[in-house]
Amino acid sequence: MDSTRSIHHSAVDGYTKGADTYVRGRPDYPPEIAEWLRDTLGLHAGATVLDLGAGTGKFTPRLLATGATVIAVEPVAAMLDKLAASHPEVRPLVGTADAIPLPDASVDVVVCAQAFHWFATAEALDEIHRVLKPGGRLGLVWNMRDARVPWVAAIDRIVNEFEGDAPRYYTGAWRQAFPHPGFGPMEEQHYANGHTGSPEDVILNRVRSTSFISALPPEQRGSVDERLRALIDAEPELSGHAVVTLPYDTAAYCLARNNRD
């Protein structure tokens, strides 16, 4: 079966081409996420967690650090290969959110990091409900650039010109999948975060790793790079700096599985 058939074209095209850039350009998660995984989602040694839409495994080390057994499901082979090479202790599976290759009631927690907006449907939530054990939890996590900072907002304006019909977290459209009868109320928490590194990685590679940017023709990608470099040169907080910090807001959501069977 073609695992990418039901996936948005921007995700298939962009993430297949941009798996290497994704690894370099994406920020890590704040240390407070460790406590959230433990205390809110209930992850610990002996538990099993599904990293759904796992990508290259950017969030996977956070799950491994809880001591839980980690299963990763990802439809884009180029990304799953990166994850499997970096984390051999993880069980990697090709699959989608609406066709998870696991038995009923087989995991304690499902986590979607930087992913749920791609498959925010009742069908996907039905499938997540199916693989969760009674009392299980669903965690949704996103790193979002903090556009309250003017130069960050300028980066977003460049990126957003090319989004087309690609689902995005910031639009809030993913919330339309809730409420869902399989899950209780949504608990929401936010943490300040930052991505520190060279402007090449923190700004250019981060933008290049965006699915619909990665899928652009080479000349358009080059134009985006030029505009970002001009922005960096014109911004006093960035120009001439070998190391910069891009501020983020990390949003974490938890929903408990309802027993509706």
Domain limits for position 120? 9-147+169-196+248-256
pLDDT digits (tens, 9 = 90+) for 152-171: 999 999 999 999 999 999 99
Q: What total number of domains does the chain contain?
A: 1
Give pLDDT tens digits along the chain (261 positions): 344 445 545 444 544 455 566 566 789 999 999 999 999 999 999 999 999 999 999 999 999 999 999 999 999 999 999 999 999 999 999 999 999 999 999 999 999 999 999 999 999 999 999 999 999 999 999 999 999 999 999 999 999 999 999 999 999 999 999 999 999 999 999 999 999 999 999 999 999 999 899 999 999 999 999 999 999 999 999 999 999 999 999 999 999 999 864
DSSP of the chain, one letter per residue? --TTTTS-HHHHHHHHH-HHHHHHHS----THHHHIIIIIS---TT-EEEEET-TTSSSHHHHHTTT-EEEEE-S-HHHHHHHHHH-TTSEEE--BTTB-SS-TT-EEEEEEES-GGGS-SHHHHHHHHHHEEEEEEEEEEEEEE-TTSHHHHHHHHHHHTT-TT---GGG-GGGGG-S-TTB-PPEEEEEEEEEEE-HIIIIIIHHHTSHHHHTS-HHHHHHHHHHHHHHHHH-TTTTT-SSEEEEEEEEEEEEEBP---
Note whether residue 141 is domain-resident: yes
Whether 110 is in a domain gets the answer yes
Does residue 119 belong to any structural domain of this protein? yes
In a domain, 1, yes or no: no
Q: Is 240 contained in some domain?
A: no
User: Does 26 reside within a domain?
Assistant: yes
Q: CATH no. for residue 41?
A: 3.40.50.150
Give a yes or no: residue 206 inside a domain: no
Q: Is residue 179 included in any domain, yes or no?
A: yes
